[in-house]
Amino acid sequence: MEENLKSPITTFVCFDIETTGLNPQQDKIIEIGAVKVVNKKIVGIFNELIHPQMKLPAIITSITGINDAMLVNADTLDNVIPRFLEFAGDHIVLGHNIMFDYSFIKKAAAKMNMGFEKTGIDTLELSRYLHRDLESRSLENMCRHYQIHNDHAHRAYDDAKATAMLYVQLCNNFFTEHPEVFRPRELTFKVKKSQPITKKQKNYLIDLLKYHNIDSEQSIDTLTQSEASRWIDQIILSRGRMS
């Protein structure tokens, strides 16, 4: 049996992401936000929008407030990920439903042959265990319960900062009685090996883009089979097939 922590973890990186959807194997990261806390003090922040090289689904704009115009001059994921990994360093990570955020970052890092092996603490799991009295343990509801002001909910940096504040509140209220649930655990996510775009997909996509007069900033050669298939489906759904 593992020995309980003697005191709460006070040095960590708390992060949050916004994405184009829920599937880390297919969807894109559009924002990464994080706070670095050392000995209970915020010593660094990370806050970057990311160009997904695709049009944002309307529902994502309605949830996050992020629109295509805001991403025009944003950097690409390949450039942002190394900066975030450097920011995170060797620190323990925190998040609310952390496996969602971790899976996207892990996949992006793996695509660049970079590692993101982490131990982490999930404030959603803590909230579910420690606040069985509450009907919902969403970040929004937990912030309301603890009177944590998060005026820009569903934006990555603001949610990351709110999550860090929630963690502090949970530690203050419950660590002495339940130290065992605050122990960081190893985060594991298996990244599926991506296959490169096929010649048939590439030729069809090129013809489809030309047919619908669509300008693309993304290099088709860098697409995976699943990304190419998804892009083709999106174009056909919105513009129609070639006649």
* Rounded mean pLDDT, 200-214: 91
Return d(Cα 53, Cα 56) in angstroms, integer: 9
Instruction: Tell me the pLDDT tens digit for each residue of 42-90.
Output: 999 999 999 998 889 999 999 999 999 999 999 999 999 999 999 999 9
Residue 3 pLDDT: 58
pLDDT band at 1 (very low <50, low <70, confident <90, very high): very low
- pLDDT score for 183: 97
pLDDT confidence tier of residue 229, bands split at 50, 70 and 90: confident
Tell me the whole-structure pTM to 2 decimals. Answer: 0.82
pLDDT of residue 217: 67
Average pLDDT over residues 12-17: 98
**Edge-to-edge order in the sheet of strand 12-19:** 75-76, 41-51, 29-38, 12-19, 93-95, 119-122, 185-186
List, in order, residues 6 or more apart from 51 with CB less than 8 Å away.
71, 72, 74, 75, 76, 217
Give the three-state DSSP class for 192. coil
Confidence at residue 215, expressed as pLDDT on a 0 to 100 scale: 82
For the chain, domains (ranges, CATH) are 12-186 (3.30.420.10), 199-239 (no CATH)
Share of the chain above pLDDT 70, in %: 98
Q: What are the pLDDT digits (tens) for 88-147? A: 999 999 999 999 999 999 999 998 899 999 999 999 999 999 999 999 999 999 999 999
12 has a pLDDT exceeding 90 = yes
Residue with tokens 């290099």: 219
